[in-house]
Amino acid sequence: MDLRRLRYFVAVAEARSVGKAAERLRMAQPPLSVQIRKLEAEIGAPLFRRGTRGMDLTEAGQALFARAGEALALAADGAEAARAVASGRRGRISVGYMFVLANAVLPRLIPELRRSIPGVDLDFAELTASTREARLLDRSVTVALCMPAIHHPEIQVARIGAQPLMLAMPIRSPLARLGAVPVARLQGRPLIALPHPDQDPASSAVAALLRRHQVVMPIVSRVETVHSAMSLVLAGEGLAILPACAQLGAPRGVVFRPLRDATDSIDIAVCWRRDSHSPLIRTFLKCAEKVVARL
Amino acid sequence: MDLRRLRYFVAVAEARSVGKAAERLRMAQPPLSVQIRKLEAEIGAPLFRRGTRGMDLTEAGQALFARAGEALALAADGAEAARAVASGRRGRISVGYMFVLANAVLPRLIPELRRSIPGVDLDFAELTASTREARLLDRSVTVALCMPAIHHPEIQVARIGAQPLMLAMPIRSPLARLGAVPVARLQGRPLIALPHPDQDPASSAVAALLRRHQVVMPIVSRVETVHSAMSLVLAGEGLAILPACAQLGAPRGVVFRPLRDATDSIDIAVCWRRDSHSPLIRTFLKCAEKVVARL
DNA sequence: CATTGGCATACCGAAAACATATGGGTTGAC
DNA sequence: GTCAACCCATATGTTTTCGGTATGCCAATG
């Protein structure tokens, strides 16, 4: 069963004439006549009653005609749907984000995305530092909004912004009375650290900062998210050095102060598989850049 | 968009491999690979991600795949439906019948038909002597159960039985006391006649009968149906010469008597367009023969 | 480094489709 | 009644497309 024959069949059925249909199909009449007869041979029954004034569907022909239109439409629709997905007008994108960015970026990013790609299904998944590469590689997320960026040969990274490091402390801490805290004042104080994968420049940035100032802070806890870090800070377990945007999600009782003599920052990046060529990724990147630029 | 390509596409998508799909399709791998690429060219986007371990649908491919299966199924279903209709397993048949047969034949014929062709839509339409040809010719009925048969060059007739002519009279008529009425006794009595189209052998049969016996009956009324005829008989307007089966629908007060020295009868026939080749007509004919044989 | 597995390309023969030309049957007009 | 017009079917040659075989390329594996 060939779709072209079905298309010819429908044309002839609608025109009630081989000649008229051939004209509409921009082809000669004889080959169309042949194709119709081949279709009838394939079905095993006459589909048209040949009259002297044209052709007319038989009952069997009517039965086929009833389905043929739908089948043609469905095939065309499938092709169109594929094109729409390929072009980014339709589809699905699964956005991974790290918790530290949830408060600062997502509330503005989500409406921006819905405006830019209205036909696209969006879904969101929180990523942790230890699983984000895997989620990209197994395609369970299409793009990841990361802080800091991922470094992996299969993963493409676009840096879209950065956030300065700040000191997070309990509001009762004596340091909180300072407008900006000199790094030297941190010497010997307990530090709540985020995970430290080998190539992760997040804690590297903190480590580098302390090293540069020859300050040592004993690590009292390692936690997965900035939220946990701030909880421990509130509990008085120690201090944390976090990107400024974390401040938005800080509990009452935790305050942030700039570090006076440090300009260190952590990158915000959009990351995706190198072999994902969906145009939705570009669109997502544009939206994210726009939102992050206004932080 | 070719249905074969769509079939190939589905096979590759399901096998997640060109080679495996080619095997399942009983063809070599290279031409299948070529067809897939042609489909991708037609869509204008890659449908598969080529990995080192096989092929995997892209998002666009998934969009197409979601519709492709349905389109294939619908096309196959259309072909099957056409075959089913052509073979008589499915379809629709519109049965025309003349009123005179309604009581004697339909109550047995309808269940017989439903048993024989369970997948077929049946509908019934009463025909009158003056419209039955037209209803067949314009295909508003597929077959007609007629009494007497139709004679027309475009219409095929199968005689399936006959009914003897009987005399219908009011129960109070002196003739009703006889077991059988000699035709000679009808001389001069008023006759309720059925319509008399030129080639209609119904009234011809009655006319021939009377002529043969050299009996003259003045015609006092012409009516369309035996029902009307019997009503007029009941009203005392005259007598009617009707097929025996009309007796079943006779109102109380009208009785039938055989004609002693006449064996005249009227045919029961199934009629259909010569160019209708539906196998349902054969089946219908068989059912009608079976039912009429038991009258 | 060789081998294996999987897809892509090249080329050739076969089959299918299309166009042109023509035949046959019916309708309708002069 | 003949003739023209109309419409579908058939015939034949050319072009397109399809499928098969041979082979190349690349990556993963041992």
- Strand C: which residues 21-40 of A lie within 7 A (CB)? 26-32, 34-35, 38
- pLDDT score recorded for residue B198: 52
Which residues, 6+ apart, have CB-to-CB distance to B293 below 8 Å?
A: B160, B161
Nearest alpha-carbon partner for A167 in A268, A260, A266: A260
Query: How many Å apart are CA A220 and CA B211, to the nearest integer?
Result: 127
Q: How far apart are the first and last CA of chain A?
A: 59
- pLDDT score recorded for residue B195: 72
Nearest alpha-carbon partner for B15 in B25, B1, B5: B25
Q: Which residue has the tokens 């650290």?
A: A193
CB B277 within 8 A of CB A50: no
- pLDDT score recorded for residue B196: 60
Distance from CA of A124 to the nearest CA of B (A): 18
Question: Between chain A and chain B, how many beta carbons pairs sit less than 8 Å apart?
Answer: 129
Of all protein residues, which has its CA closest to the C1' atom of C19? A28
CB A72 within 8 A of CB A10: yes
Query: How many Å apart are CA A121 and CA A35, to the nearest integer?
Result: 43
What secondary structure does DSSP assign to B8-63, as a single string?
HHHHHHHHTSHHHHHHHTTS-HHHHHHHHHHHHHHHTS--EEEETTEEEE-HHHHH
- Asked if the Cβ–Cβ distance from B86 to A3 is below 8 Å, we say no
Task: Name the closest residue on chain B to residue A87, using Cα atoms.
Answer: B45
B103-134 as b/e, with b when 16 or more CB fall inside 10 Å?
A: bbbbebbeebbeeebeebeeebeebebeebbe
- How many Cβ atoms sit within 10 Å of the Cβ of residue A50? 11
- Asked if the Cβ–Cβ distance from B67 to A74 is below 8 Å, we say yes
B19 CB closer than 7 A to any strand C atom: yes
- pLDDT score recorded for residue B203: 52
HEC sequence for A245-261: HHHHHCCCCEEEEEECC
Amino acid (1-letter code) at residue B123: D
Residue A43 CA distance to nucleotide D12 C1' (Å): 27
Query: How many Å apart are CA A222 and CA B67, to the nearest integer?
Result: 50
A80 CB closer than 7 A to any strand C atom: no
Residue A31 CA distance to nucleotide D13 C1' (Å): 14
CB A6 within 8 A of CB B2: no
Query: Tens digit of pLDDT per residue, chain A (295 long)?
Result: 899 999 999 999 999 999 999 999 999 999 999 999 999 999 999 999 998 888 999 999 999 999 999 999 999 999 999 999 999 999 999 999 998 899 889 999 999 999 999 999 999 999 987 788 889 988 899 999 998 888 888 889 999 999 999 999 999 999 999 889 999 999 999 999 887 655 555 457 888 889 889 999 998 988 888 899 999 999 999 999 999 999 988 999 999 999 998 888 989 999 999 888 889 999 999 999 999 998 8
Rounded alpha-carbon distances, angstroms, from residue B58 to A98, A133, B50: 26, 20, 10
Helices then strands, counting H and E runs in chain B, come out as 9, 11
Nucleotides of D under 7 A from a protein CB: 7-11, 18-23, 26-28
- Asked if the Cβ–Cβ distance from A1 to B90 is below 8 Å, we say no
Task: Name the closest residue on chain A to residue B89, using Cα atoms.
Answer: A60
Task: Name the closest residue on chain B to residue A75, using Cα atoms.
Answer: B71
Q: Residue ranges of the alpha helices (H) in A117-238?
A: 132-137, 201-212, 226-234
Judge residue A153's burial from the number of C-beta atoms within 10 Å of its C-beta, 0-12 exposed, 13-18 middle, 19 or more buried. exposed
Task: Name the closest residue on chain A to residue B4, using Cα atoms.
Answer: A2
Nucleotide with minimal C1' distance from the CA of B5 is: D18
Q: Residue A275: list chain B partners with CB under 8 A.
A: 49
Query: In Å, how far from its chain's centre is CA A196?
Result: 26
- How many Cβ atoms sit within 10 Å of the Cβ of residue A45? 21
Nucleotides of C under 7 A from a protein CB: 5-10, 17-22, 25-27
B211 CB closer than 7 A to any strand C atom: no
Which residues, 6+ apart, have CB-to-CB distance to A29 below 8 Å?
A: A18, A19, A22
Query: How many Å apart are CA B9 and CA B6, to the nearest integer?
Result: 5
HEC sequence for A101-140: HHHHHHHHHHHHHHHHCCCEEEEEEEECCCCHHHHHHCCC
Mutate which: B7, B64, B139, vs A, most A CBs within 10 A: B64
Nearest alpha-carbon partner for A192 in A179, A203, A205, A204: A203
Query: How many Å apart are CA A185 and CA A293, to the nearest integer?
Result: 32
CB A256 within 8 A of CB A119: no
Rounded alpha-carbon distances, angstroms, from residue A145 to A98, A195, B102: 6, 17, 80
Distance from CA of A162 to the nearest CA of B (A): 32
Distance from CA of A134 to the nearest CA of B (A): 18
Distance from CA of B271 to the nearest CA of A (A): 19
Query: How many Å apart are CA A12 and CA B72, to the nearest integer?
Result: 21
Nearest alpha-carbon partner for A115 in A249, A286, A295, A294: A286
* Positive or negative torsion for Cα A288, A290, A291, A295: positive
- pLDDT score recorded for residue B141: 93
Pairing of strands B155-170, B191-193: unpaired
Nearest alpha-carbon partner for A70 in A8, A6, A129: A6
Task: Name the closest residue on chain A to residue B64, using Cα atoms.
Answer: A78
Nucleotide with minimal C1' distance from the CA of B19 is: C6
Task: For chain A, list residues whose CB is within 8 angstroms of any CB belonging to chain B.
Answer: 1-4, 6, 42-47, 49, 58-64, 66-68, 70-71, 74-79, 81-87, 90-92, 275, 277-278
Which of the residues in chain B have pLDDT under 50?
A: 202
Nearest alpha-carbon partner for B146 in B85, B187, B105, B91: B105
Amino acid (1-letter code) at residue A102: A
What six digits make up the tokens of A138?
Answer: 């197994």
Angle at CA of residue B128, ends B123 and B130, nearest 5°: 130
- Asked if the Cβ–Cβ distance from B83 to A92 is below 8 Å, we say no
Which residues, 6+ apart, have CB-to-CB distance to A100 below 8 Å?
A: A147, A225, A226, A242, A243, A245, A246, A249
All structural domains of chain B, each given as residue ranges with its CATH number in brackets, are: 3-87 (1.10.10.10), 91-160+268-293 (3.40.190.10), 161-266 (3.40.190.10)
CB B282 within 8 A of CB B170: no
Residue B5 CA distance to nucleotide D15 C1' (Å): 21
Distance from CA of A61 to the nearest CA of B (A): 6
